[in-house]
C-alpha cells in the first residue's frame, strides 16, 4: 500500500510532500477506508426497512413493533428534554476559575439547546441502535459564532482499521459527501478560498456525462435526497412500508439534473494522524479522485481541537473487535417475522369467515343465482320446505391465538431489558413509591450500562462543541462577581461532563433523591439544590433566591447596626433571649 511507509523498523502513515504523489496516495487511502461501505450499506438497508415497515420483503407488516421497540429503548437511553453540562478540572482551581466554568457550562447548555444539538444527538441514538453506530460531526456555525452538530450516516464514513473501536485511536478516517457543484461553490465562497474558480472549473470539466453514475447506490440516496429506506431509484413502488401506505412522490430519491452546476461531486474529507506534526490530525479535502481543496499546500487540523477529529461515534452497544457494531434489530427480527405471520393468519381467517361459503340444505332447488342472492348483503331465499336452512362454513380462531400474540409482544420488552414496572405497568404487591423505585433500580442494570456509555459519548460531544465555541466566540462574558473573560481564557485542563446524569431517565430519580438528601443534611444550600434538580424556570428561581438573600443580609446588617448604636448610647450590652426568659418567669 502506497499510504504506508517504513520508519526505523515500524510502519506508519506518512503524508507525501510531493504533490505528484499526494493525489494517488489520498485516492488509495479513501478506497481503503471506504472498502466495506457497499457491504455495510446492504445491512443498513435491511435494518432500515425493518425499522420503517417491519419486514424486508415487498409486503409491509400489519403491526410494526420494531420501530416502537427501538424508539422506546432510545428514549430510555437519552432524552433531549433537559440536557445540562458541567465543566470540571483535573486539579483544584481558584474560585474565580470555578465561577467562570459555571457560566461557561450554562452557555454550553443553552447553545446545545438553541442549535438543536440535543435533538440531533437523540436521533443519533435511534440510528445507532438501527445500524450499529452513528457518527456526529461538530462544525462551526458562523452565523451565530457557535457550533452545530451534523449527522453523518455510517455508510458515508470509513476508518482505516475496523478492529480499533475508538475513533480518536484511528490513524485515518474518511468522510464522504455528495454536494452539488453550486453548493460546493457556495461553501468555497464562504471560506474565501483562493482557488475557488479553478476548483469549480475542474469539477464542471470532470462531469462530462449527463447521468449520475452513483445514483442507484444506497450511499448516494442517503446524502443527496435524504433517507431512502425502501428499494432503489427507478424501481416501481411496491406494497412496502411508507410507499404502500402513503402513495406520494418520494422526495428522498435523487433527481436527475442536466445542469452542470446541479450535478453532484464526491467530496472526500480525510483525517490523518500526521507524523510530521507530532501525531496531530491533518485534514485533506478533495473532490475524488484528485481535485484538492485543502491539504495540498498547508497542513492543519480543521476540527479546532488539537489531537481530535470533529467526529463523535454514538454506539450504545459496543461489539468487541468491530468498529461498526451490531444492529439491535437483529435481536427482534425473527420476533417481528413471527408476529407478522400470526397477524396475517388471523387476518386471512377473519376475511374468510366474513365471506364464508354457505351450505344450503333442504331447498327444493338451488341455482347459481339463488346462491349469490344469499351470500350478498341483505340477500335472502324463500322456500316452502320448513326444514330448509343455510349454514356458513366459518372457522373459529385457534385456541390461544391472542395469548400467543400477547406473549410475542412481551418478548420485545424482554429483549430490550424492560420490566413491566419500567413500562409504566403495575406490579402485584407494590404499594409504595420507594418500593417501586427499588424495583426499577434493580431491574434495569442492562439499560443503565448502555445509558452510561451514551452519556459519556454525549460528554465527548459537548467537549468538542465547547472547543469549537472557543475558536468562534470572541464575546466578553461577566460573572456575578464582575469577572470579565472570554472563552479562550478558560484553563485548558477542563473536562466536560453531563450534569447530574440529566440525559437519561435511568438516573433521574436516583439523582433527585440524592440531591434532596444532601439538602436535608445541610451539605448543600438552596442554590445548589436548584442547580442539581433544575426545575422549570430555574434561572428565575435563582434570581429571586439571590434577591431574598440580599434582602435578608441587609435586614441583618441593619439590626446589627441598631444594636451597636444602642450599646454606644446606653452602655449596655443587649442580652440574647432576655425577653424569652422574662416571659418564662411570669
pLDDT in tens, 431-455: 555 545 555 555 566 788 888 899 9
How far apart, in whole angstroms, are the C-alpha atoms of residue 258 and residue 263?
Answer: 7
Per-residue pLDDT, 35: 93
Cell of 450: 448502555
Mean pLDDT of 298-314: 90
Rg over CA atoms, the chain = 33
Q: Is residue 259 part of a domain?
A: no
How far apart, in whole angstroms, are the C-alpha atoms of residue 502 and residue 531?
Answer: 11
With CA atoms as reference, report the closest residue to 155 among 271, 270, 44: 44
Q: Is residue 361 part of a domain?
A: no
Instruction: Quickly state the pLDDT bin for 66 (edges 50, 70, 90).
Output: very high
Mean pLDDT of 74-94: 85
Length of the chain: 586
Summarised one tens digit per residue, pLDDT across range 263-285 is: 888 999 999 998 888 888 999 99
Q: Is residue 316 part of a domain?
A: no
CA angle (130 as vertex; 457, 332 as ends), nearest 5: 125
Q: Is residue 297 part of a domain?
A: no
Q: Is residue 552 part of a domain?
A: yes
How far apart, in whole angstroms, are the C-alpha atoms of residue 176 and residue 162?
Answer: 17
> Of 96-105, 194-203, 463-472, 535-544, which gets the smallest average pLDDT?
535-544
Q: List % helix, strand, coil for the chain (3-state, nearest 5).
A: 50, 15, 40
Per-residue pLDDT, 256: 53
Structural domain containing residue 534 = 529-562
Cell of 300: 492543519
How far apart, in whole angstroms, are the C-alpha atoms of residue 257 and residue 213?
Answer: 12
How far apart, in whole angstroms, are the C-alpha atoms of residue 188 and residue 199?
Answer: 9
Summarised one tens digit per residue, pLDDT across range 456-509 is: 999 999 999 999 999 888 889 988 788 899 998 888 889 998 887 777 776 666
Q: Is residue 188 part of a domain?
A: no
With CA atoms as reference, report the closest residue to 309 among 118, 408, 166: 166
Q: For residue 19, what are the CA distances in angstroms to 26, 279, 295?
A: 11, 21, 10
Per-residue pLDDT, 429: 56
Mean pLDDT of 41-68: 89
> Of 33-47, 210-224, 397-411, 496-510, which gets the smallest average pLDDT?
210-224
Q: Is residue 461 part of a domain?
A: no
Mean pLDDT of 198-209: 80
pLDDT at residue 212 greater than cutoff 60: no
Per-residue pLDDT, 258: 55
With CA atoms as reference, report the closest residue to 131 among 280, 322, 296, 282: 322
pLDDT at residue 359 greater than cutoff 60: yes
Q: Is residue 538 part of a domain?
A: yes
Any residues with CB less than 8 A from the CB of 463 and at least 6 apart, and which?
305, 495, 496
Helical residues (DSSP H) of 331-400, grouped into ranges:
333-354, 368-375
Prior bond of 289 cis (ω within 30°): yes
Any residues with CB less than 8 A from the CB of 98 and at least 6 apart, and which?
none
Instruction: Quickly state the pLDDT bin for 418 (edges 50, 70, 90).
Output: confident
Per-residue pLDDT, 443: 54
Cell of 417: 431489558
* pLDDT-above-70 percentage for the chain: 80
When divided into structural domains, the chain yields a total of 1
> Of 180-189, 213-222, 385-394, 529-538, which gets the smallest average pLDDT?
213-222
Mean pLDDT of 181-193: 89
What pTM, to 2 d.p., does this model score? 0.78
How far apart, in whole angstroms, are the C-alpha atoms of residue 108 and residue 65?
Answer: 37
Instruction: Quickly state the pLDDT bin for 236 (edges 50, 70, 90).
Output: very low
How far does Cα 559 stand from its chain's mean position? 56
| Residues in a beta bridge with 174 | 158, 270
How far apart, in whole angstroms, are the C-alpha atoms of residue 75 and residue 505?
Answer: 8
Per-residue pLDDT, 229: 40
Amino acid at each position: 500500500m502506497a499510504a504506508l511507509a517504513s520508519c526505523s523498523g515500524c510502519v506508519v502513515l506518512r503524508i507525501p510532500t510531493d504533490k505528484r504523489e499526494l493525489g494517488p496516495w489520498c485516492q488509495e487511502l479513501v478506497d481503503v477506508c471506504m472498502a466495506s461501505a457497499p457491504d455495510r450499506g446492504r445491512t443498513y438497508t435491511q435494518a432500515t426497512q425493518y425499522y420503517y415497515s417491519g419486514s424486508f420483503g415487498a409486503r409491509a407488516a400489519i403491526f410494526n413493533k420494531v420501530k416502537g421497540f427501538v424508539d422506546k429503548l432510545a428514549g430510555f437511553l437519552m432524552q433531549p428534554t433537559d440536557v445540562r453540562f458541567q465543566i470540571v478540572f483535573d486539579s483544584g482551581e481558584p474560585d474565580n476559575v470555578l465561577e467562570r466554568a459555571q457560566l461557561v457550562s450554562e452557555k454550553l447548555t443553552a447553545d446545545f439547546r438553541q442549535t438543536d444539538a440535543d435533538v440531533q444527538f437523540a436521533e443519533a441514538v435511534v440510528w445507532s441502535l438501527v445500524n450499529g453506530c452513528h457518527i456526529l460531526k461538530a462544525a462551526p456555525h458562523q452565523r451565530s459564532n457557535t457550533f452545530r452538530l451534523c449527522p453523518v450516516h455510517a455508510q458515508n464514513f470509513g476508518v482505516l482499521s475496523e478492529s480499533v473501536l475508538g475513533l480518536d485511536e484511528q490513524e485515518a478516517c474518511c468522510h464522504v459527501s455528495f454536494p452539488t457543484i453550486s453548493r460546493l461553490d457556495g461553501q468555497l465562497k464562504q471560506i474565501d478560498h483562493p482557488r475557488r474558480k479553478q476548483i469549480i472549473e475542474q469539477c464542471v470539466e470532470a462531469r462530462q456525462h449527463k447521468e449520475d453514475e452513483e445514483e442507484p447506490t444506497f450511499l448516494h440516496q442517503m446524502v443527496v435526497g435524504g433517507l431512502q429506506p425502501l428499494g432503489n431509484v427507478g424501481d416501481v413502488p411496491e406494497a412496502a412500508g411508507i410507499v404502500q401506505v402513503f402513495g406520494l412522490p418520494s422526495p428522498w430519491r435523487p433527481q436527475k439534473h442536466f445542469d452542470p452546476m446541479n450535478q453532484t461531486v464526491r467530496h472526500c474529507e480525510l483525517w490523518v494522524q500526521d507524523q510530521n506534526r507530532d501525531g496531530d490530525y491533518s485534514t485533506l479535502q478533495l473532490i475524488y479522485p484528485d481535485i484538492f481543496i485543502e491539504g495540498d499546500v498547508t497542513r492543519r487540523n480543521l476540527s479546532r481541537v488539537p489531537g481530535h477529529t470533529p467526529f463523535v461515534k454514538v454506539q450504545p452497544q459496543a461489539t468487541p473487535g468491530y468498529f461498526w457494531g451490531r444492529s439491535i434489530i437483529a435481536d427482534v427480527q425473527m420476533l417481528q417475522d413471527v408476529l407478522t405471520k400470526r397477524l396475517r393468519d388471523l387476518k386471512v381467517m377473519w376475511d374468510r369467515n366474513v365471506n364464508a361459503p354457505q351450505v344450503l340444505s333442504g331447498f327444493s332447488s338451488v341455482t347459481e343465482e339463488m346462491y349469490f342472492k344469499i351470500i350478498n348483503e341483505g340477500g335472502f331465499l324463500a322456500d316452502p320446505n320448513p326444514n330448509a336452512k343455510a349454514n356458513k362454513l366459518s372457522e373459529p380462531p385457534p385456541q390461544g391465538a391472542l395469548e400467543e400474540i400477547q406473549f410475542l409482544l412481551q418478548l420485545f420488552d424482554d429483549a430490550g431489558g424492560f420490566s413491566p414496572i419500567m413500562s409504566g405497568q403495575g406490579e402485584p404487591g407494590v404499594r409504595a413509591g420507594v418500593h417501586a423505585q427499588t424495583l426499577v433500580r434493580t431491574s434495569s442494570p442492562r439499560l443503565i450500562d448502555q445509558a452510561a456509555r451514551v452519556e459519556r459519548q454525549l460528554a465527548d460531544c459537548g467537549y468538542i462543541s465547547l472547543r469549537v465555541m472557543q475558536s468562534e466566540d470572541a464575546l466578553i462574558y461577566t460573572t456575578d462577581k464582575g469577572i470579565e473573560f472570554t472563552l479562550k481564557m478558560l484553563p485548558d485542563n477542563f473536562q466536560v461532563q453531563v450534569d447530574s446524569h440529566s440525559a437519561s431517565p435511568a438516573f433521574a430519580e436516583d439523582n433527585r433523591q440524592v440531591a434532596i438528601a444532601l439538602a436535608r443534611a445541610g451539605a448543600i444550600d438552596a442554590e445548589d439544590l436548584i442547580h442539581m434538580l433544575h426545575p422549570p424556570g430555574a434561572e428565575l428561581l435563582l434570581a429571586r433566591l439571590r434577591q431574598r438573600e440580599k434582602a435578608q443580609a441587609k435586614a441583618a446588617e441593619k439590626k446589627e447596626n441598631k444594636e451597636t448604636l444602642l450599646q454606644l448610647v446606653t452602655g449596655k450590652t443587649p442580652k440574647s433571649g432576655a425577653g424569652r426568659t422574662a416571659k418564662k418567669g411570669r
